[in-house]
Structure 1
Amino acid sequence: MTTLATDAAPSPTFAPDTPPPERTDRRVALASLTGTTIEFYDYFIYGTAAALVFNKVFFPNLSPTMGAVAALATLAVVFVFRPLGSAVFGHIGDRLGRKRTLVLTLTLMGLCTVGVGVMPGAATIGWVAPVLLVLFRAAQGFAVGGEWAGAALFASENAADGRRGRLTMYPQLGACVAFVLASLTFLVVNLSIGETSDAFVTWGWRVPFLLSAGLIAVGLYVRLHTSETPVFARARSRGETTRAPFLEVWRRQTRTMLLAIGVTTGIFGAMTVGSVYLTTYATTTLHLGMSTILLIDVLAAAAACVTTVLASVWSDRIGRRGLVLASCIGLAAWSLVLFPLMNVGTPLAVGTAVVVLLALIGLAYGPLGAYLPEMFATRYRYTGAGVSYNLGGVAGGAVILLIAAPLSATWGGVGLGLYMAAMLLVSIGCLVALPETYRRPLS
Structure 2
Amino acid sequence: MQTTVQGSPTRQPGRAAFAAFVGTTIEWYDFYIYATASALVFGKLFFPQGDSFYSTLASFGTFAVGFFARPFGGLVFGHLGDRIGRKKALVATLAIMGIGTVGIGFLPTYASAGALAPVLLVLLRVAQGIAIGGEWGGAVLMAGEHAPKAKRTFLASFAQLGSPAGLILALLAFRTVGHMPKEQLMDWGWRVPFLLSAVLLIVGIFIRSGVSESPEFAAAAKREKPARLPILDVLSNAWGKVLLCLGANVIGVAGAWFCNTFMLSFTTETLGISRSLMLDCLFIVAFVHFFNQLFSGWLAQRVGAKKFLAWAAGLAMLSPYPMFILVSTGKPLAIVVGIAITVMCMSGSYAVMAGLMTDAFDVRYRYSAISLSYQSCAALAGGLTPIIGTVLAHAWPGQWWPLAVFYSALAAVSLLCLLGLQTNKSDVRSPATVVVPE
Question: In the TM superposition, what whole-angstrom CA distance separates every residue of 1:41-92 from its partner, at most 9, and x where no partner exists?
Answer: 1121111111111111101234211111111111111110101110111011
Match of 1:421 in 2: 408
Equivalent residue letter for 1:372? M
In the alignment, the residues of structure 2 paired with residue 418 and residue 424 of structure 1 have an alpha-carbon distance, to the nearest angstrom, of 10
From 81, 89, 97, the equivalent of 1:101 is 89
In the alignment, the residues of structure 2 paired with residue 173 and residue 163 of structure 1 have an alpha-carbon distance, to the nearest angstrom, of 16
Q: Secondary structure at the match of 2:240?
A: helix
Report if aligned partners of 2:97, 2:128 keep a CA contact under 8 Å in 1. yes
Match of 2:153 in 1: 165
From 329, 336, 344, the equivalent of 2:314 is 329
In the alignment, the residues of structure 1 paired with residue 254 and residue 50 of structure 2 have an alpha-carbon distance, to the nearest angstrom, of 26
- Is 1:76 aligned to residue 64 of structure 2? yes
How far does residue 111 in structure 1 lie from its aligned partner after superposition?
A: 0.3
Q: Pick closer, same or farther for the CA change 1:370–1:345 going to 2, 3 Å.
A: same
How far does residue 347 in structure 1 lie from its aligned partner after superposition?
A: 2.2
In the alignment, the residues of structure 2 paired with residue 92 and residue 389 of structure 1 have an alpha-carbon distance, to the nearest angstrom, of 17
Question: In the TM superposition, what whole-angstrom CA distance separates every residue of 1:204-248 from its partner, at most 9, and x where no partner exists?
Answer: 111111111111111111222322111000100111521111111
In the alignment, the residues of structure 2 paired with residue 79 and residue 281 of structure 1 have an alpha-carbon distance, to the nearest angstrom, of 21
In the alignment, the residues of structure 2 paired with residue 18 and residue 420 of structure 1 have an alpha-carbon distance, to the nearest angstrom, of 47
In the alignment, the residues of structure 2 paired with residue 51 and residue 61 of structure 1 have an alpha-carbon distance, to the nearest angstrom, of 15
TM-score by length of 2: 0.93
Question: In the TM superposition, what whole-angstrom CA distance separates every residue of 1:300-341 from its partner, at most 9, and x where no partner exists?
Answer: 110011110011112222211111111111111112333233
- Is 1:59 aligned to residue 44 of structure 2? no
From 354, 379, 393, the equivalent of 1:394 is 379
Question: In the TM superposition, what whole-angstrom CA distance separates every residue of 1:2-50 from its partner, at most 9, and x where no partner exists?
Answer: 9xxxxxxxxxxx9988996453234212320122112211121111111
Match of 1:306 in 2: 291
Q: Which runs of 5+ in 1 are unaligned?
A: 3-13
Match of 2:325 in 1: 340
Match of 1:131 in 2: 119
From 247, 264, 267, the equivalent of 1:282 is 267
Q: Secondary structure at the match of 1:163?
A: helix
**Segment drifting more, 23-32 vs 202-211:** 23-32
Match of 1:231 in 2: 216
Q: Pick closer, same or farther for the CA change 1:424–1:91 going to 2, 3 Å.
A: same
Match of 1:318 in 2: 303
Equivalent residue letter for 1:381? R
Equivalent residue letter for 2:207? V
In the alignment, the residues of structure 1 paired with residue 19 and residue 57 of structure 2 have an alpha-carbon distance, to the nearest angstrom, of 35
In the alignment, the residues of structure 2 paired with residue 60 and residue 363 of structure 1 have an alpha-carbon distance, to the nearest angstrom, of 38
Equivalent residue letter for 1:216? L
Match of 1:28 in 2: 16
Q: How does 1:82-121 map onto structure 2 within 5 Å?
A: 82-121=70-109
Question: In the TM superposition, what whole-angstrom CA distance separates every residue of 1:372-409 from its partner, at most 9, and x where no partner exists?
Answer: 11100001000111110111112211121221111112
In the alignment, the residues of structure 1 paired with residue 144 and residue 225 of structure 2 have an alpha-carbon distance, to the nearest angstrom, of 18
In the alignment, the residues of structure 2 paired with residue 37 and residue 436 of structure 1 have an alpha-carbon distance, to the nearest angstrom, of 34
- Is 1:150 aligned to residue 135 of structure 2? no
- Is 1:222 aligned to residue 183 of structure 2? no
In the alignment, the residues of structure 2 paired with residue 229 and residue 27 of structure 1 have an alpha-carbon distance, to the nearest angstrom, of 12
How far does residue 154 in structure 1 lie from its aligned partner after superposition?
A: 0.5
Q: Secondary structure at the match of 1:168?
A: helix
Report if aligned partners of 1:307, 1:359 keep a CA contact under 8 Å in 2. yes
Equivalent residue letter for 2:410? M
Question: In the TM superposition, what whole-angstrom CA distance separates every residue of 1:156-179 from its partner, at most 9, and x where no partner exists?
Answer: 111111011222122111101111
Equivalent residue letter for 1:315? A
Question: In the TM superposition, what whole-angstrom CA distance separates every residue of 1:407-439 from its partner, at most 9, and x where no partner exists?
Answer: 1121332112111111211110110111399x9
Q: Pick closer, same or farther for the CA change 1:156–1:290 going to 2, 3 Å.
A: same
Q: Which runs of 5+ in 2 are unaligned?
A: none
Q: Secondary structure at the match of 1:61?
A: coil
Equivalent residue letter for 2:416? G
**How many equivalent residue pairs?**
427
Report if aligned partners of 1:173, 1:305 keep a CA contact under 8 Å in 2. yes
When the two chains are superposed, the root-mean-square deviation of aligned CA atoms in Å is 2.2
In the alignment, the residues of structure 2 paired with residue 442 and residue 67 of structure 1 have an alpha-carbon distance, to the nearest angstrom, of 53
Equivalent residue letter for 1:260? C
Match of 2:251 in 1: 266
In the alignment, the residues of structure 2 paired with residue 248 and residue 347 of structure 1 have an alpha-carbon distance, to the nearest angstrom, of 51
TM-score by length of 1: 0.92
Match of 2:417 in 1: 430
In the alignment, the residues of structure 2 paired with residue 40 and residue 146 of structure 1 have an alpha-carbon distance, to the nearest angstrom, of 13
Match of 2:174 in 1: 186
Equivalent residue letter for 2:28? F
In the alignment, the residues of structure 2 paired with residue 218 and residue 372 of structure 1 have an alpha-carbon distance, to the nearest angstrom, of 28
Percent of matched pairs sharing the same residue: 35
In the alignment, the residues of structure 1 paired with residue 358 and residue 409 of structure 2 have an alpha-carbon distance, to the nearest angstrom, of 26
Question: In the TM superposition, what whole-angstrom CA distance separates every residue of 1:338-388 from its partner, at most 9, and x where no partner exists?
Answer: 323322232232222212222222211111221111100001000111110
Q: Pick closer, same or farther for the CA change 1:353–1:248 going to 2, 3 Å.
A: same
